[in-house]
């Protein structure tokens, strides 16, 4: 029996998490985590993936969770390492994915002396975690980790962070802790179901997120409900994963730009929310509302984030006798002719190159153009979006998705400015030889912010434009990729983009295409 062996706290933790189903550790360890590195090394129970920066680690764990449907463990170094992971922890938390972070801290006896790396690890953890605990003894750290794992795996998924003082990792007396069942979804309210059923009809929005969008059967059932009642289906803009493409219901996302979003939602008189919240603008603007639905719109929260959205869809369907339908597929786009990379040809080049089973990681922001629309008729694929608005998610999210699904190609649609926040991810893509093809939309500016500057009524002069401009010097993504071991090409023609992207998708290992807009 493993629990009769003598082992230190770190080993008991690794063995217990492995028994709890954790298979991957994304790591950027430091001195205070060396005992965990040692335990991972001796037990060989997990695949260990190194990131050169902690934002790569947390973003990869998010991508893994979105596609594997279960958590990875991350290994992070003290408060500064946790802070570096923070932006993508934020995105993961808003995605409600399961994740367990293991963060080292100084040995308890060392904390009082204000060593250089001493800082408030608990405080840093609390900002971006749903569950935080500091381990206290070698004999209980595995139990702490298993409780954190169960918290992470609940419905919805949570970010759990366990802080591990170094001495608790290396002290003997570790004890294996068996898996704990996660908290399942809360029951639906029959009265709310009845209200939702009576609200179905023309002028009604069904806004669905979370597990519903990950299940093609659920969305086909929704399509049947919509056809029978005249209700319309939409998804939140910030959605962790949508299963879409040919043979699946096409559920459009609410657009990001405030005026487009208000326009799309202006006609609804009733909204039924399923694992989604009432849609809210990304930001407040001087003369715009925060809430995007019309003021008079009646809102019914059929299923909250902690309830079972698929059961809610089934309840609606049962009540009205609706059946799943396979909607008519959107036309499959054709490969574009030779010509510059304007919106249409660029999008067609990408959409026409997608094979069945592709995973699209979308951090294209302003440059995504018509890709989302044109891929509605592409072969079935998964679509992962930026969830928390913290840019720099794409390159690491791709890593995690590729590790969760080694047989599926990842196509990352990546804004150039955002890519630079976690550009180090390319190195991990190369080291792990992941089949990720990144298309950099090189518009050479923070275009989103230029739009936002106009939205707050400014008339930008040279200093403002300078702060939103990525030229002087131009970023050379081909050189950056090669510097991290990723082969790359620069493309200015739509037909060439199609050709190179198609080839890269079918080749193993990563590739980067700088699409010059």
C-alpha–C-alpha distance, residues 241 and 405, integer Å: 14
The correct pick among 7, 117, 132, 512 for binding a copy of itself (CB under 8 A) is 117
The CB-of-478 to a copy of itself minimum distance in angstroms stands at 8
Regarding 485 and contact with a copy of itself (CB under 8 A), the answer is yes
- Is residue 422 within 8 Å of 91, Cβ to Cβ? no
The residue from 19, 23, 34, 490 that contacts a copy of itself (CB under 8 A) is: 34
Q: Does 269 engage in binding with a copy of itself (CB under 8 A)? A: no
Residue 269 or 431: the one with the smaller Cβ distance to a copy of itself is 431
Question: How big is the CA angle at 11 (ends 140 and 130), to the nearest 5 degrees?
Answer: 55
Ranges within 295-354 binding a copy of itself (CB under 8 A)? none
| Full strand arrangement of the beta sheet holding 242-244 | 242-244, 381-385, 359-363, 410-415, 436-442, 511-516, 488-491
Nearest residue to 101 (alpha-carbon basis) of 119, 117, 89: 89
Question: Is residue 260 within the footprint of a copy of itself (CB under 8 A)?
Answer: no
In the bound state with a copy of itself, the residue whose beta carbon lies nearer, of 215 and 476, is: 476
Q: Kindly state whether residue 128 participates in binding a copy of itself, applying the rule CB under 8 A.
A: yes
Tokens, residue 160? 């759990």
Quote the strand ranges of 93-208, DSSP E: 99-105, 131-134, 159-165, 204-208
Helix, strand, coil percent content, the chain, rounded in steps of 5: 40, 20, 40
Residue among 99, 208, 484, 513 that touches a copy of itself (CB under 8 A): 484
CA 334 vs CA 117, 355, 450, 494: distances in Å = 56, 13, 33, 12
Q: Measured between alpha carbons, how far is residue 437 from residues 170, 341, 351, 375, 509 in Å?
A: 41, 18, 14, 17, 8
* Least distance in angstroms from the C-beta of 386 to a copy of itself: 8
266 or 277: CB nearest a copy of itself: 277
Question: Which of 3, 30, 325, 444 touches a copy of itself by CB under 8 A?
Answer: 30
Q: How far apart are alpha carbons 170 and 107 in whole angstroms?
A: 10
Least distance CB 319 / a copy of itself (angstroms): 30
Binding-site string for a copy of itself from residue 287 to residue 306, where x marks contact by CB under 8 A and - marks none: ---xx---------------
User: CB of 404: closest distance to a copy of itself in angstroms?
Assistant: 20
The mark string for 375-404 relative to a copy of itself (x by CB under 8 A, - otherwise) is: ------------xxxx-x------------
* Both tokens assigned to 489: 């090409």
By CB under 8 A, residue 87 contacts a copy of itself: yes
Q: Considering only residues 81, 148, 309, 395, which one is a binding residue for a copy of itself as defined by CB under 8 A?
A: 81
Say how far apart CA 458 and CA 451 lie, in whole Å.
Answer: 10
> What mask, x for binding a copy of itself by CB under 8 A, covers residues 449 to 478?
x--xx-xxxx-xxxxx-xxx-x-xxxxxxx
Instruction: Count residues near a copy of itself (CB under 8 A).
Output: 102
Using CB under 8 A, pick the residue from 19, 50, 180, 495 that binds a copy of itself.
Answer: 50
Site for a copy of itself in 399-438 (CB under 8 A): 417, 420-421, 423-424, 427, 430-431
- Choose the stretch contacting a copy of itself; rule: CB under 8 A; options: 44-52, 341-349, 353-361, 366-374: 44-52
Q: Which is nearer to a copy of itself, 164 or 350 (CB)?
A: 164
483 touches a copy of itself by CB under 8 A: yes
Q: What is the rounded distance in angstroms from the CA atom of residue 370 to the CA atom of residue 374? A: 6
Residue 166 vs 274, nearer CB to a copy of itself? 166
Nearer to a copy of itself, 229 or 445 (CB): 445
Among 19, 37, 180, 299, binds a copy of itself (CB under 8 A): 37
Among 2, 186, 266, 277, binds a copy of itself (CB under 8 A): 277
Block residue for tokens 């044109």: 374
**Which tokens belong to 113?**
């002396």
**Interacting residue with a copy of itself among 16, 18, 35, 219 (CB under 8 A):** 35
Site track 131-170 with a copy of itself (rule: CB under 8 A), x = hit: -----------------------------------xx--x
- Rounded to a whole number of angstroms, the minimum distance from the CB of residue 245 to a copy of itself is 25
Token pair for 515: 């699409």
- Residue 29 binds a copy of itself, judged by CB under 8 A: yes
Q: Identify the burial level of 467 via C-beta atoms within 10 angstroms of its C-beta, where 0-12 means exposed, 13-18 middle and 19 or more buried.
A: exposed
Residues 185-214 that bind a copy of itself (CB under 8 A): none
The answer to whether the beta carbons of residues 253 and 239 sit under 8 Å apart is: yes
Which pair of tokens denotes residue 447?
């275009």
Which strand ranges, in their side-by-side order, compose the sheet holding 24-27? Answer: 47-50, 24-27, 73-77, 99-105, 159-165, 131-134
Closer to a copy of itself by CB, 150 or 384: give it.
Answer: 384
Kindly state the DSSP code that residue 307 receives in the 8-state scheme: B
Identify whether the C-beta of residue 399 lies closer than 8 Å to the C-beta of residue 358: no
Q: Counting contacts by CB under 8 A, is residue 240 touching a copy of itself?
A: no
- Contacting residue, 479, 503, 506, 507, with a copy of itself by CB under 8 A: 479
Give ∠ CA 450-455-461 in degrees, rounded to 5. 50
């Amino acid at each position: 029996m493993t629990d009769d062996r003598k082992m230190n706290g770190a080993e008991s933790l690794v063995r217990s998490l492995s028994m709890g189903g954790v298979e991957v550790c994304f790591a950027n360890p430091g001195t205070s985590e060396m005992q965990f590195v040692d335990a991972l090394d001796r037990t060989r129970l997990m695949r260990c993936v190194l990131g050169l920066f902690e934002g790569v680690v947390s973003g990869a764990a998010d991508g893994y969770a979105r596609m594997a449907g279960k958590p990875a463990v991350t290994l992070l170094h003290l408060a500064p390492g946790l802070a570096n992971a923070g932006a993508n922890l934020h995105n993961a938390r808003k995605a409600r994915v399961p994740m367990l972070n293991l963060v080292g801290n100084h040995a308890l006896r060392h904390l009082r002396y204000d060593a250089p790396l001493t800082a408030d690890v608990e405080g840093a953890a609390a900002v971006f975690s749903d569950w935080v605990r500091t381990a206290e003894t070698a004999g209980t750290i595995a139990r702490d980790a298993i409780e954190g794992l169960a918290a992470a795996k609940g419905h919805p998924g949570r970010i759990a962070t366990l802080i591990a003082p170094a001495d608790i990792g290396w002290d003997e007396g570790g004890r294996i802790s068996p898996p704990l069942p996660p908290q399942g979804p809360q029951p639906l309210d029959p009265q709310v179901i009845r209200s939702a059923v009576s609200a179905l009809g023309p002028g009604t929005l069904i806004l669905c997120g979370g597990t519903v969008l990950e299940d093609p059967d659920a969305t086909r059932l929704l399509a049947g409900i919509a056809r029978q009642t005249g209700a319309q289906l939409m998804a939140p803009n910030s959605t962790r994963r949508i299963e879409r493409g040919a043979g699946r219901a096409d559920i459009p996302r609410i657009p990001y730009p405030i005026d487009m979003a208000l326009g799309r939602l202006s006609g609804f008189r009733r909204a039924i929310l399923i694992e989604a919240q009432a849609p809210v603008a990304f930001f407040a603007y001087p003369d715009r509302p925060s809430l995007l639905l019309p003021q008079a719109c009646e809102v019914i929260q059929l299923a909250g984030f902690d309830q079972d959205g698929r059961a809610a869809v089934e309840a609606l369907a049962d009540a009205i006798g609706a059946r799943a339908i396979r909607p008519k597929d959107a036309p499959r786009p054709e490969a574009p002719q030779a010509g510059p990379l304007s919106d249409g040809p660029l999008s067609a080049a990408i959409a026409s190159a997608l094979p069945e089973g592709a995973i699209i990681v979308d951090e294209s922001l302003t440059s995504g153009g018509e890709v989302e629309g044109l891929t509605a008729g592409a072969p079935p694929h998964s679509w992962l979006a930026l969830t928390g608005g913290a840019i720099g998610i794409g390159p690491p999210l791709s890593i995690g998705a590729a590790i969760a699904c080694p047989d599926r190609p990842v196509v990352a649609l990546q804004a150039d400015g955002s890519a630079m926040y976690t550009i180090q991810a390319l190195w991990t893509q190369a080291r792990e030889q992941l089949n990720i093809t990144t298309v950099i939309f090189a518009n050479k500016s923070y275009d989103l912010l230029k739009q936002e500057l106009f939205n707050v009524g400014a008339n930008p002069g040279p200093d403002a434009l300078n702060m939103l401009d990525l030229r002087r010097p131009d970023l050379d993504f081909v050189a950056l990729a090669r510097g991290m071991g990723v082969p790359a090409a620069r493309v200015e023609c739509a037909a060439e983009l199609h050709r190179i992207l198609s080839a890269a998708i079918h080749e193993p290992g990563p590739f980067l295409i700088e699409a010059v807009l």
